[in-house]
Structure 1
């Protein structure tokens, strides 16, 4: 299934309504605070900006925000919140599309780098981020830590969420580092709806090597946007990579 088939009109229309906690002030507040701090007054580029969950309120904070987005239905939803003058967006692949100008900050949130299903494409994404940055610029990646401890021996599936009206199930291909997330939604009757998305999971050490190949060095790694320490039991991380200040 291609990216355009997953992030289609139907998914785009439902995306904001189904964000849950990820769209709340409790999550967005620390995210925006940290991005403003890391941008240091410079321009920011969001890869896979989607419907503008982060990019639009970041622009409202006074940061000059641009974006790259492959899904035109997702971009159409963003345009209901901000026009092209305030948040310009290039339609294209986050691993290769280029945006005019030079940026102090490039960021990629909510596990989105895992939407690139080949290691080579994830490496290309780091290189594309570096190509947009001024010397000393930062690339920020928010990503979950692969939780293979939940996977029983000789099994390829694990439940990751059980909520009223929703069950989440991941199926793994540990050879290719691929996972398919299955989101089952159901109501009072017998009908159910299934949404699936494919990902390539990445270990933090592998992500660091991708960064080195693109000329970055790890500056910070936190468990969350509030700067809490990253530990062996952390389920996700916010990693900040920086280019050399002298550009060499």
Structure 2
């Protein structure tokens, strides 16, 4: 099943002021959440949009917006990036994401929705300690290729990048900055894959720019709120985000 988007036949759900308000609100929230916790905002944004659009449209719209959002976050924390740690991962994530993005153009929507659920449940299992990610230095390159492919196919693989970087000792602004750098590589790759697979239309590109502007605003808000995040004990913010993602993913199955 070839899932190319038809420029002349947009679903009614992606028309009107309601869509702009949704993109602005969710974009601001996603940017603030990711700047606070390092993860989660992009996955929430993707899952919400997949409820009103097809999964392929949601993936295509969020990719450029999340790329710009992560580029902006990377610029804000550019002095803190642990390049020596993430270089191999980021280099492998680009071609991996291209492959995953190409697969989306041929995947049935139902399969993509189930993959979204599986990715979210995998992130929950990791957060609860049921799956341990303790990579050796040499494993960062194959991990980049695999996680990049998952990100291209279903999005949200930043939820796996984050614990990977935590296990190699990153924390604080170095952690947030390095997650953003890895995300830039993955989003760049999946944009190439989606473009080659025919998923982009000019209308979705315009909506993606609106979303990107909202994410940039959310980044600024999140940076100002970072002092509050230290008052949240343990991983409560991450767990709350993952629980919300599971609920949205399961809701999408029945949508």
- TM bracket, shorter-chain basis: under 0.3
For the pair shown, which has the larger CA radius of gyration, 1 or 2? 1
TM-score norm. by structure 1 comes to 0.27
More helix by share: 2
**Structure of greater relative contact order (alpha carbons < 8 Å, 6+ residues apart):** 2
TM-score norm. by structure 2 comes to 0.27
